[in-house]
Amino acid sequence: MRILLFAGKGGVGKTSIAAATGLAAAGRGYRTIVISLDSAHNLSDSFELSEELFEVKGEPVKVRPNLWIQEIDVQEEIKRHWGEVHSYIAALFRASGVKEILAEELAILPGMEEVSGLLYINSYARKGSYDLIVLDCAPTGEAIRFVSLPTILEWYMKKFFNLERKLAKVVGPFVERIYNVPMPEDSCFDSIESLFNRLEGVEELLSDSKVTSVRLVTNPEKIVVKETQRAFLYFSLYGLCVDGVIVNKVFPAETSDLFLREWQVLQGKYISELESYFSPVPVFRLPLYQREVKGIKALQELARDLYGDHDPAEVFHPEPPYCFAKDDDHYLLRIKLPFVTKEEVELSKRGDELIIKVGVFKRHVILPKNMATLTPQGAKIEGKTLTIKFGGKEDGQGKERRR
């Protein structure tokens, strides 16, 4: 089984590319489901489907041979998975004086949709329902939250869940009498525990590079490129493998229009930056089409332009090119650099970017915030891996150079 996450800034074309990928995979015989994790769903619009097909909200709908789509509906998910939790949170809002209808809306907490998505993924994986799960992720921030939730939930369940449950039993009656604030019933804790048990194993699924790959979708524009670099960093931090970057809406090369030529030069600059930054992860290009990409024919054309003869479920790059770690008081950055000796490596730092130069090749790595103020304090080669140690604060220039 394979899981593909399509992530990126809002409006870059994730939904069309996820839909086209699902369509191409289904055409190869894979039992495929495309799931929209974005609250502003438009997956069904990409396929030009009528609303009559979606008789039960949030359920998978078969749209082609071997192809299903699913748009998660948070209201339906609350009924299925969050009933007790939602009722308690709404009661808290009502106790504070919030009107009932508003309390019901406010009780839909950030993360409920993402957890619902994780529940479906884990359920489909356990049952072997599909060969390929394609995720049309929400914009970058929510996508990062989506992949971070298994780790956060596990930490909460191990550290605080049992303590909170015991405290609610002991002090709950006193709090309710004195402050007139409702305390969670035992059934509320049962509901949370049940949700957590149903998520067991999903973190291993997402971090297994043979199963799960992230494909970042971007446009050749400065702000979008920067966000794509940030997304790459955070997915790497959470142990997910990015196996491709898709540059969408590239202007055609064959044009005599002066206005478009200037855009071509600018786009060419950002595409070169992307290819340099993400190497050895492959960078794919998609043209700016004359018409909206919607409907089966348009999606099939997009899939051909993107994948050619390649299998869309293929792992295009099998391992993360770098990872971060902490050893005692030092932070470490490990980078795959085969056939390189320590003497060939030159490091420099500019703001929150580490610049690694090997001969005429340069690689830029954006550092996490807790490492951005530190200086490189040494480097060593172990096998095919370059390990860089960080410590201390950077100098006043914000730069440090080592050999």
pLDDT digits (tens, 9 = 90+) for 352-375: 888 888 766 667 788 888 888 888
pLDDT at 385: 81
Range 327-362 burial, b when 16+ CB lie within 10 A, else e: eeeebebbbebeebeeeebebebeebebebeeeeee
**In this model, does residue 403 exceed pLDDT 60?**
no
Orientation angle between helical segments 74-81 and 112-127, nearest 10 degrees = 70
Mean pLDDT of 90-117: 76
* Fold match flag (2-307 vs 322-402): no
Residue-wise pLDDT for 307-345, tens only, equals: 999 999 999 998 876 788 888 778 999 887 656 677 777
For the 322-402 domain, the top CATH level (class) is mainly beta
The three-state secondary structure class of 242 is strand
Q: Based on DSSP, count helices (H) and strands (E) in the chain, helices before strands.
A: 14, 16
Q: What is the mean pLDDT of residues 256-285?
A: 88
* pTM for the structure as a whole: 0.81
Residue 402: band (very low, low, confident or very high) from pLDDT cuts 50, 70, 90 = very low
Other Cβ atoms closer than 10 A to 111: 16
Tell whether the model's pLDDT for residue 86 goes beyond 70.
yes
What is each CA distance from 363 to 97, 129, 185, 276, in whole angstroms? 55, 41, 54, 7
Show the tokens assigned to 123.
């359920």
CATH homologous superfamily for the domain 2-307: P-loop containing nucleotide triphosphate hydrolases (3.40.50.300)
Q: What is the pLDDT of residue 400?
A: 40
Question: What integer pLDDT is reported at residue 360 of this predicted model?
Answer: 60
pLDDT in tens, 2-58: 999 999 999 999 999 999 999 999 999 999 999 998 877 788 899 998 876 766 667
pLDDT for 110: 65
Residue 85 host element (H or E): helix 83-95
* Per-residue confidence band for 377, with pLDDT thresholds at 50, 70 and 90: confident
Q: What percent of the chain has pLDDT over 70?
A: 91
- Given this model, what pLDDT does residue 394 score? 58
Hey, where are the domains in the chain? 2-307, 322-402
